[in-house]
Chain A
Amino acid sequence: MVEITFRIKRQDPADKKNPEFHWEEYKVPFEGNLTVLEALFYIQEHYDGALCFRYCCRASICGSCAMYINGAYRLACQTNIKHLDIVHDAVPVVSVSPMPHVPLVKDLVVDMDDFFAKYEYIEPWLIRNSADPEKEIAQSPKDRKNLDMPIDCILCGCCYSSCPSVWGEENYLGPAALLKAYRFEVDSRDEARKERLPLFDNERGVYRCHTIMNCQEACPKELSPTEGIQWLKKAAVRRRLFGRLK
C-alpha cells in the first residue's frame, strides 16, 4: 500500500520548553479518496493526540479547515490527495501548515479574532430605512444575480491570509470583510446611503487594495473579492467626485 508522508508544521507558542515551530513527518496509508482532513484525523488518532486543527462539515461549506497545503491555500476537507499529483512521486509528500500571516493559536489553528472583528466593523447586515412590506421585498432575478458571487463566501480566511496589503497594514479590513460590504451594497433590498460607505471609504478600506489578486487565486470557492472591492472603490470615488451616493 502506498504511504503518503505528511509534513506538518507544528508549534505551541505556550510551550515554554519549545515555543518555536518545527516540522514533523507522519506516514499515512493512502486509499481511495483520502482527503487532507482525513489524514489529519488519522495522525491525531494514531500518532499524536495533541495535533490541533479546525474541522466541522467535511464538505467544504463551513470554512473551518482552511490551511496552506503544498504551496496553496486550500480547505483540508476538499483536498483529495489524488488531485495533488504527488501519488506517483518516489516519496509522495504533502506539506501542511497553518494559514500564514495570521496569529497562531497552536499547530494548524490560527487566531481569527481580527478577521471577525473586521467583518463586524463593516456592518455586515442588510440596512433598511423604510418599513418592511407584509410579504417579501421584491427583487428581480437580475438584481438577485448580483449577489451570486459574494454570498458564496464561507469566511474561511484564505483571501485574508493571502493578501500582501493585509500583511503590510494590520488595520486594513482585507478582502473578506470588503467582499461582505460589497454583498450588501449591491443588494437591491439594501437601503444604506451613508451608513456603510464611510466604513470602507477610508484609510482602512478599499484604497489599500492594489489589485494583486492573490485573494482571487486563494479562494477555495473561486470567488473574486477583488471584483467586489473595485466596485466599492468606484462607488467611493464617485461619491468623492460627484457627491453621489450609489
Chain B
Amino acid sequence: MIHHDVIVVGGGLSGLRAAIEAKRAGVDVAILSQVHPGRSHSGAAQGGINAALGNHPDGHDDTWEKHAFDTTKGGDYLGDQDAIMKMTQDAIRVIYEMDHWGCPFSRYEDGRITQRPFGGAGFPRCCYGADKTGHYLLHTLVEQAYKFGVKLYVEQYVSKLIVHDGVCQGVIAYDMIRGGFESFTAHAVVIATGGSGRIYSNSTNALINTGGGMALAYHAGVPLKDMEFIQFHPTGLFTTNILMTEGARGEGGYLLNGKGERYMEKYAPKFMELAPRDIVARAGQTEINEGRGINGQPYVWLDLRHLGAEKILERLPGIRDLAIHFEGVDPIEEPIPVVPSQHYTMGGIDTNFDGATPMPGLYAAGECACVSVHGANRLGGNSLLETIVFGRRSGADVVRYLEGLGERKPPNARTADADLRTMEDKVSALANAKATEDAYKLRNEMADITRYHFGVFRDEPTMKTGLDKLLDVKARSKNVGLRVSGGVFNLDMIRTLDLESMIDVALCMASGALNRTESRGAHFRTDFNKRNDAEWLKHTLAYYRPGEAGPRLDFKPVTLGIFEPQERVY
C-alpha cells in the first residue's frame, strides 16, 4: 500500500496542471499514468488554445465575455453559463502563465503571442504554436511537473477506485513495468484520463483514449453527464482518421466536394469553413451521402494549395508531415482527402466548475469530465483551454478540500486491501475463465456499432438497433477470458479490462442519444431535427446500475442567466 495525500490519475494537460497546482500549495501529490506524461494524447492537439488576448490585428475588440458568448452559442446553449464565464475569464491568465513557463507559442513582430481565426469564434482568438500547440503545451507542463517535484508513477494502469463509506480514498493500479496490482491510498483523487474516442472505430484519438477514467467514476456510482454529445471533426484523414487541424481552415484552407465547389456556402454562408464543427461535419457528411464526394468516393477535399508553400511550412508543418506519412499526399501539391471523424467527448464525469464530483474526495478534469462548458458542441481551441483552466481549478479545490478535512484520518486500510483483492480476484477469474468470446473481436464490433448507429446523423430505428446490438455485445462480453495471465506489460489483460469500460461508456452514449428526442449541437436526429428547449434544455445524467445492462437516466437543469438561448445561425 502506497499513500499520497492526492492521487491524480492521468498525466495529460489536466492531470499535470491539477498536480502542479496542488504541489505548489505544499500538498503531497502523485500522478499515476498509463503512459509517460509526455506521451499523453494532449500532445496530439494541433490548432491552438482560445483566449481573448486581443493580439491579432482583427482582435482588438475581443473580450472574454464575447469568448463566453461564442462558446455558449457554439454549444447550442447546453453549456452551464457560469462555468463558461469562469473558463473564458481564466483563459487569459493561464495562457500568460504557460508563456512564463516556457511554452513556445508563435510570435508577432512585436513579440506577442500569435492568434488565428477558429471555428465559431467572432474574433481570431486561438493562440498557437505552429500546428503543434498541444505538443508544446504538454511538454511545457511536463517540464514544470519535474521542476515542482510532482511524484510520477509512470505506466500504471488504474483499474478501480477505492471507496470507503461513500468517500473516494485512492485507486488500485497495475504496474505495467514491474507487474502486479498495488493499492494507492489518498485523501483525494483527481481523474484526468481524457476522452473515450476509441469507443468509435473512426476516431482521431490516441489508442489509449478508451474512456477508462469515466468508467472508474461511473462504476463507483458517480453519474456521467451528456454522454450523447459526440463531436465529429470535419477533417480526419480519409484512411486513418488522423486529425487535420481546424487551423488549416483558420489559415484559409477550403473544403471542396467532387464538383470542385466550396460547399460550405450552402450551409454557413457567413462563417463558411469556420462554422462550428458540428455544422461543418454535417455538411461534409451530407455531400458524401448525396454522392458529391470526390469521384464518388466517401470523402471530400481539404485544399490548402492556394496558401502557398511558405505559409504551409511555417504555420502547418505538422499536418503536412502527417498527410505525407499517413495519406501519401503533400498538401503543397495536392488536396487532402478527409472525412468527418469521431473527435471529442463533450460529456463526461459530472463535475462542478471546481472539478468536484458528487462523491466526496473525487475530482475530474479535462475531457473525461463534463463541467459543462462545451454544451452540445465544443468549439475548436476550447479543449486545450478546458484542460488547463479546470486542471488548475481542480488542483486548487483539492487543496481547499484537504484543508476542510481538518485533522485527516488515514484512509481505511481494510477497504483498500479488500479492493485490491477484488481486483486481483477479478483478473484471476478472467485468467481461469473458459472463454467462448474473443475480447478483441467484441471491441471491434462495438466500435463499428457506435460508428454506424450513432454517427453524424441519427434516427430512432438506427439507434434502437444499435443499442440492442451494444446490449448483445455487453452480454457476450461476460464470456471473455485472458490469454495471458500475470507478468509485465500485459497488454492482453489491459485490453480485456478496457472492454468492459468501453462498452459501459458506449451504452451511456447510446442510451442518452436514443432518449434525447431533439437535435442540439453535435447530436443531430433526422427524425427530430429541431432543438426543443421546452423539453430538452437539460443535462442527461447516466447512472450505473450494477447487474443491469444499461444505465439509469436522470436529468439536471442547465445554468443559464447570462445569454438568452437563440437560434444558431452562422
Q: Tell me whether A111 and B177 are in contact (CB under 8 A).
A: yes
CB-CB under 8 A for A52 and B489, given A45-B440, A138-B110: yes
Return chain A residues, CB-CB under 8 Å to B220.
none
Decide if A24 is an interface residue (CB 8 Å cutoff): no
Q: Tell me whether B44 and A141 are in contact (CB under 8 A).
A: no
**Stretch of B62-70, B237-245, B257-265, B272-280 contacting A (4+ beta carbons < 8 Å):** B237-245
Nearest residue (CB) in B for A136 is B99
CB-CB under 8 A for A126 and B107, given A14-B488, A56-B208, A62-B44: no
Which residues from 89 to 108 on chain B have a C-beta closer than 8 Å to any C-beta of chain A? 95-96, 99-102, 104-108
Decide if B146 is an interface residue (CB 8 Å cutoff): yes
Which residues from 15 to 65 on chain A have a C-beta closer than 8 Å to any C-beta of chain B? 32-33, 44-45, 49-64
Which residues from 171 to 187 on chain B have a C-beta closer than 8 Å to any C-beta of chain A? 177, 179
Decide if B41 is an interface residue (CB 8 Å cutoff): yes
List 14 A-B pairs, Cβ < 8 Å: A33-B327, A44-B492, A50-B483, A50-B492, A52-B491, A55-B207, A62-B39, A112-B36, A137-B99, A141-B109, A151-B104, A151-B129, A151-B132, A155-B39
Decide if A100 is an interface residue (CB 8 Å cutoff): no
Q: Tell me whether A58 and B207 are in contact (CB under 8 A).
A: yes
Return chain B residues, CB-CB under 8 Å to A123.
147
Nearest residue (CB) in A for B482 is A49
Q: Tell me whether A139 and B39 are in contact (CB under 8 A).
A: no
- Bound form: Cα–Cα A204–B563 in Å: 60
CB-CB under 8 A for A62 and B325, given A50-B487, A51-B491, A56-B208: no
Decide if A124 is an interface residue (CB 8 Å cutoff): yes
Most buried by B among A49, A143, A155: A49
CB-CB under 8 A for A49 and B146, given A60-B325, A109-B489, A139-B107: no
**Stretch of A86-94, A127-135, A166-174 contacting B (4+ beta carbons < 8 Å):** A127-135
Which residues from 102 to 150 on chain A have a C-beta closer than 8 Å to any C-beta of chain B? 105-107, 109, 111-112, 116, 119-120, 123-126, 128, 132, 134-141, 143-144, 147
CB distance from A243 to the nearest CB of B (A): 27
Which residues from 143 to 191 on chain A have a C-beta closer than 8 Å to any C-beta of chain B? 143-144, 147, 151-152, 154-155, 184, 187, 189-190
Q: Tell me whether A61 and B100 are in contact (CB under 8 A).
A: no
Question: A57-B44, A59-B326, A137-B100 are known contacts; what are 10 more A-B pairs with Cβ within 8 Å?
Answer: A33-B327, A49-B491, A56-B207, A57-B43, A57-B206, A58-B242, A135-B112, A139-B107, A140-B109, A155-B38
Which residues from 201 to 258 on chain B have a C-beta closer than 8 Å to any C-beta of chain A? 206-208, 239-240, 242-243
Decide if B316 is an interface residue (CB 8 Å cutoff): no
Q: Tell me whether B39 and A63 are in contact (CB under 8 A).
A: yes
CB distance from A127 to the nearest CB of B (A): 9
Q: Which 5 A-B pairs have the closest CB atoms?
A: A138-B111, A126-B102, A49-B492, A49-B483, A52-B489
Q: Tell me whether B491 and A61 are in contact (CB under 8 A).
A: no
Return chain B residues, CB-CB under 8 Å to A155.
36, 38-39
CB distance from B324 to the nearest CB of A (A): 10
Return chain A residues, CB-CB under 8 Å to B101.
125-126
Decide if B283 is an interface residue (CB 8 Å cutoff): no
Q: Tell me whether A124 and B107 are in contact (CB under 8 A).
A: no
Residue in B44, B100, B207, B325 whose CB lies within 8 Å of A80: B325
Which residues from 535 to 570 on chain B have a C-beta closer than 8 Å to any C-beta of chain A? none
CB distance from A209 to the nearest CB of B (A): 23
Return chain B residues, CB-CB under 8 Å to A5.
none
**How many residues on the B side are at the interface (Cβ–Cβ under 8 A)?**
61
- Bound form: Cα–Cα A112–B35 in Å: 12
CB distance from A67 to the nearest CB of B (A): 14
Return chain B residues, CB-CB under 8 Å to A230.
none
- Bound form: Cα–Cα A3–B183 in Å: 45
Q: Tell me whether B484 and A59 are in contact (CB under 8 A).
A: no
Nearest residue (CB) in B for A220 is B325
Q: Tell me whether A144 and B106 are in contact (CB under 8 A).
A: yes
Decide if B353 is an interface residue (CB 8 Å cutoff): no
Return chain B residues, CB-CB under 8 Å to A128.
100
Q: Tell me whether B325 and A139 are in contact (CB under 8 A).
A: no
- Bound form: Cα–Cα A38–B243 in Å: 18
Return chain B residues, CB-CB under 8 Å to A107.
489
Return chain A residues, CB-CB under 8 Å to B440.
45
Return chain A residues, CB-CB under 8 Å to B484.
49-50
CB-CB under 8 A for A184 and B102, given A105-B488, A125-B147: yes
Q: Tell me whether A152 and B132 are in contact (CB under 8 A).
A: yes
Decide if B415 is an interface residue (CB 8 Å cutoff): no
Return chain A residues, CB-CB under 8 Å to B154.
116
Residue in A32, A56, A106 whose CB lies within 8 Å of B206: A56
Q: Tell me whether A57 and B207 are in contact (CB under 8 A).
A: yes
Return chain A residues, CB-CB under 8 Å to B500.
none
CB-CB under 8 A for A33 and B489, given A56-B206, A141-B107: no
Return chain A residues, CB-CB under 8 Å to B412.
none
CB distance from A106 to the nearest CB of B (A): 5
- Bound form: Cα–Cα A196–B213 in Å: 38
**Stretch of B24-32, B135-143, B157-165 contacting A (4+ beta carbons < 8 Å):** B135-143
